[in-house]
Amino acid sequence: MELLYGPIRDYAWGSRSAIAQLQGRPVPSDGPEAELWLGAHPGGPATVDRDGGRVDLTDLLLAEPDHWLGERVVGRFGTRLPFLLKVLAADAPLSLQAHPDAEQARAGHAADAGRPDGQRNYVDPYHKPELLVALSPMEALCGFRDPAASAEALAGFGVPALEPVLAALRTGPSGLRDAVRLLLTWPADERDALVRAAASAAVGGPDAELARELAAAYPGDPGVLVAMLLNRVRLAPGEAIWMPAGNLHAYLRGTGVEIMAASDNVLRGGLTPKRVDVDELLRVLRFEVLRDPVVPSLEVDPGVVTWPVPVDDFALHRVTVGAALPAVTLSVPGPRVVLCCAGELSVDDGTGAVTLGRGQAAVGTAAAGPLRVAGTGEAYVASCGLG
């Protein structure tokens, strides 16, 4: 194993304490720190030590793909790391968003060829399913809830103009598409008044609280009302949510470990100053009720849990060691990225041990052996999901 150094993305919604505390740096940080990227995505590749300097992990994969990725990964995904591990730290709500499936991504990327950057929906030909495990108490919006509950919430705002939306929702799941379309295509000169009226009229309960919070952060944004159609999820540390293709979601606050297929394809649905392509979003969204967005963990060995997902781009395991269980050996296939989130750990894949403190990461190749984690603490291990 060798140390891996990830870049930090400074998006405006980021925390000025969570990632800094994790890495043992002064708090508050100089600016918002939203995401720590630990992978080989071209938009922010992590680096490793080489000859007195730092080299992008991306360059190493291209130079020795079979060594780093292995024949199976290269055969399935090409000469790229198919997953990206992140620490996500939100102090403010993120945009409502959804991601395409693999077929939609390939077709969309081909169709977008030659278009100006600002008009592209698909910047690469890959899908972007995501799994997030909470490190702190975390809140998110994830998937459509029962339309009857959404209709009741919006009716409680007492805004007559919303009656067409309520009528669509009262038809059941078949009306979700029309409800979203109506809200996102609301006349631009009437949006501010609509959102202000809904937020100011909302009284009592979590829906009213959320509407006022989102309207304060994104005044005049119809995404404030689209958010009322989604499940509000509260995660305790260790709980996870799964966001497959076509799932409309947004993180509201909190810190988590996120693993995803390595893609930048995002279709926004509001709560953002960025472009919202309503037609393409409606084409990609899955208009079905998501009854329970929380993914249960599965213990696979003493001290080791995972969250099974139906993709082969990635797998995520959490390893916990200490006095009662001083070491664990993991046989997940490489390449692997290991992030220490608590304590101090030794990680060794047969090529040499690396000591990790909180917030530090290491990377190992597909050519290495089983991964041994020892010490006292907790680590997240990202790998391919090929089995």
> Which residues are designated catalytic?
268
What dihedral do alpha carbons 70, 74, 75, 76 form, nearest 10°? 110
Dihedrals φ, ψ of 309, to 5°? -135, 150
d(CA 128, CA 262): 7
| Distance (Å, whole) CA 213 – CA 90 | 15
Q: How many residues does the chain have?
A: 387
Q: Is the CB of residue 81 less than 8 Å from the CB of residue 335?
A: yes
Tell me whether the omega of the peptide bond preceding residue 28 falls within 30 degrees of 0, making it cis: yes
Candidates 115, 122, 83, 73; CA nearest to 101 is 122
Collapsing DSSP to helix, strand or coil, 195 comes out as helix
- Cα–Cα distance for residue pair 291/127, rounded to 1 Å: 23
User: Whole-angstrom Cα distance, residue 253 to residue 272?
Assistant: 16
Helices (H), 23-136: 57-63, 65-68, 71-77, 102-112
Whether the CB-CB separation of 340 and 44 falls below 8 Å is answered with no
Amino acid making up residue 141:
L
Give the DSSP H/E element, type plus range, for residue 225: helix 223-226
Both structure tokens of 383? 């790998």
- Alpha carbon distances (Å) from 116 to 125, 250, 269, 273, 315: 17, 27, 21, 18, 35
Give the orientation angle of helix 147-155 with respect to helix 176-184, to 10 degrees. 40
